[in-house]
């Protein structure tokens, strides 16, 4: 099987490449990249005027399987990824049961291989049942190919347990992905604490609830040498802490979500449950600090934190709604609209933060269009205008704070292992 992608602007930060070229894909691998390729191909894709990038990677996704299929499953979740131009997702372990043993890890890998539309990396739990008490079998899960470990949705509130986990996992070269918001402070609040929460009367979560935890985990990373990756960093204080730790050579990385990079707590003003998320949407000074951190390399990856819920769970009073919303199908459009077209970030920087850099920090064989690598490719039309319509989503959880947003730029084709899984907004039959 040969596919020839003609005349696209190849943007590949892994090779510092940005030029119009042809790309030949053969048997699921990148076979050749050259200004003009004349090869007999089974399919020719005309990429004139389009950007051809290494497949986008989302390090933070909730696929909800097993156990929470009313929200999402491996099929709908990976279709949503394909639709959004994402070729690889890492799924979080806060499922029912929790992904805290190798047998569950293998089960998800096997089913994703069979039914999924994109690659699925599995993240195992740090502690048994994500309860923050006893270490899960991280060694066994590491040997069965997890990307890393996280108790996402929960802060490992015991510093003792977290330090133990970091010491233990350092032998397996896998990161601990930390959901860093103090549980007690978080439990009392429902949005960012500030002028907007004061006005709305909604109990606030202070941004220091995040800073305090990130400071602790940076210290643990420094002390143990383990790789700590801060999930969905959202406060300016936390960005500063990571920046300082990196400057000292600490083995720490972090990611920011599309919504924390683009929305503020003003979005909560109408009590729209689509704006309920943890960490909460913060004020503009925090958003600016995140963009600065993304620019200077403090923040390594842009993620979605795609967290779908069933409609009846979100169609309730603000305070009663669960945290999270879907993000796989809006991330490319929102990022291109609000970060690229505003002139703040180049397309090279965006591709780096959504593909090359996440692959590098998580040691994934992905994020590059070098010859011989997996043909996972995201093709972008930077100028295509469209409006977010959640009814057209493939995900089961339709709720998003971006519904109705006018976007400029979208993923027009997604290729996984040399096969198109999405073309022109339509997910291809498997």
Nearer to another protein, 223 or 320 (CB): 320
Q: Pick from 237, 271, 382, 405: which binds another protein (CB under 8 A)? A: 271
**Stretch of residues binding another protein (CB under 8 A), selected from 168-176, 316-324, 361-369, 387-395:** 316-324
Q: Pick from 38, 249, 317, 429: which binds another protein (CB under 8 A)? A: 317
Q: Rounded CA gap, 374 and 372, in Å?
A: 7
Site string for another protein, 392-411 (x = CB under 8 A): --------------------
Maximum CA extent, the chain: 66
Backbone angles phi, psi at 54, to 5 degrees: -60, 145
At its nearest, how many Å lie between another protein and the CB of residue 234? 17
Nearer to another protein, 87 or 197 (CB): 197
Task: Report 60-99 residues binding another protein (CB under 8 A).
Answer: none
Kindly state the DSSP code that residue 336 receives in the 8-state scheme: I
- Range 268-271 contact pairs with CB under 8 angstroms and sequence separation of 24 or more: 268/191, 268/192, 268/196, 268/197, 268/200, 268/202, 268/318, 269/196, 269/199, 269/200, 271/200, 271/202, 271/317, 271/318
**Can you name the residues that pair with 8 across neighbouring β-strands?**
21
Question: Residue 135 in contact with residue 128, Cβ under 8 Å?
Answer: yes
* Among 46, 5, 54, CA closest to 25: 5
Is residue 38 a contact point for another protein (CB under 8 A)? Answer: no
> How many of the chain's residues bind another protein (CB under 8 A)?
22
Inter-helix orientation angle 208-224/159-169, to 10°: 40
Task: Report 293-312 residues binding another protein (CB under 8 A).
Answer: 312
At its nearest, how many Å lie between another protein and the CB of residue 315? 6
The residue behind tokens 């011989």 is 372
Determine whether 18 is an active site residue: no
Nearer to another protein, 193 or 217 (CB): 193
Nearer to another protein, 315 or 383 (CB): 315
Task: Report 320-349 residues binding another protein (CB under 8 A).
Answer: 320
At its nearest, how many Å lie between another protein and the CB of residue 263? 17
At its nearest, how many Å lie between another protein and the CB of residue 86? 32
Nearer to another protein, 146 or 202 (CB): 202
For residue 100 the two structure tokens come to 């805290």
At its nearest, how many Å lie between another protein and the CB of residue 201? 3
Site string for another protein, 180-209 (x = CB under 8 A): --------x----xxx-xxxxxxxx-x---
Q: Rounded CA gap, 281 and 194, in Å?
A: 11
Nearer to another protein, 168 or 271 (CB): 271
At its nearest, how many Å lie between another protein and the CB of residue 190? 8
- Which of 180, 300, 305, 381 is the catalytic position? 305
Q: Rounded CA gap, 405 and 162, in Å?
A: 40
H and E: helices and strands count for the chain: 14, 19
At its nearest, how many Å lie between another protein and the CB of residue 184? 11
Q: From residue 224, how far is each of 169, 171, 182 by CA, in Å?
A: 10, 11, 22
Q: Rounded CA gap, 148 and 90, in Å?
A: 9
Question: Residue 304 in contact with residue 353, Cβ under 8 Å?
Answer: no
Nearer to another protein, 198 or 371 (CB): 198
Active site residues: 305
Residues lying near another protein in the complex (CB under 8 A): 188, 193-195, 197-204, 206, 270-271, 312, 315-320
């Amino acid at each position: 099987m040969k596919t020839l992608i003609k005349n696209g602007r190849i943007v590949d930060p892994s090779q510092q490449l940005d030029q119009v070229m042809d790309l030949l894909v053969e048997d699921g691998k990148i076979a050749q990249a050259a200004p003009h390729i004349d090869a007999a191909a089974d399919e020719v894709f005309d990429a004139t005027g389009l950007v051809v990038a290494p497949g986008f990677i989302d390090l933070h996704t909730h696929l909800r399987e097993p156990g929470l299929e009313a929200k999402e499953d491996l099929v709908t979740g990976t279709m949503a990824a394909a639709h959004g131009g994402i070729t690889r997702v890492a799924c979080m372990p806060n499922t029912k049961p929790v992904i805290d043993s190798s047998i569950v890890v293998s089960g998800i890998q096997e089913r994703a291989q069979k039914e999924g539309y994109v690659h699925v990396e599995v993240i195992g739990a740090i502690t048994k049942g994500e309860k923050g008490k006893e270490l899960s079998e991280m060694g066994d899960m590491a040997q069965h190919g997890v990307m890393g470990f996280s108790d996402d949705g929960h802060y490992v509130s015991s510093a003792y347990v977290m330090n133990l986990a970091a010491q233990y996992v350092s032998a397996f070269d896998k990161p601990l992905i930390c959901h860093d918001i103090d549980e007690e402070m978080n439990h009392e609040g429902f949005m960012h604490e500030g002028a907007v929460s004061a006005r709305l009367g909604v109990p606030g979560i202070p941004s220091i609830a995040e800073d305090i935890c990130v400071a602790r985990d940076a210290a643990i990373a420094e002390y143990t040498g383990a790789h700590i990756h801060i999930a969905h960093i959202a406060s300016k204080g936390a960005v500063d802490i990571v920046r300082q730790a990196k400057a000292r050579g600490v083995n720490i990385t972090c990611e920011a979500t599309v919504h924390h990079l683009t929305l503020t707590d003003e979005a909560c003003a109408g009590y729209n449950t689509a704006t309920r998320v943890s960490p909460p949407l913060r004020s503009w000074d925090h958003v600016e600090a995140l963009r600065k951190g993304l620019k200077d390399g403090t923040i390594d990856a842009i993620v979605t934190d795609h967290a779908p819920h069933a409609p009846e769970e979100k169609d309730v009073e603000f305070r009663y709604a669960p945290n999270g919303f879907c993000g796989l199908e809006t991330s490319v459009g929102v990022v291109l609209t609000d970060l690229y077209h505003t002139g703040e970030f180049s397309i090279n920087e965006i591709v780096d933060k959504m593909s090359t850099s996440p692959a590098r920090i998580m040691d994934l064989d992905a994020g590059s269009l070098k010859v011989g690598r997996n043909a996972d490719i995201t093709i972008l039309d930077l100028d295509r205008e469209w409006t977010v319509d959640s009814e057209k989503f493939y995900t089961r959880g339709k709720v998003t704070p971006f519904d109705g947003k006018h976007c400029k730029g979208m993923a027009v084709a997604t290729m996984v292992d040399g096969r198109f899984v999405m073309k022109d907004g339509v997910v291809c039959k498997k």
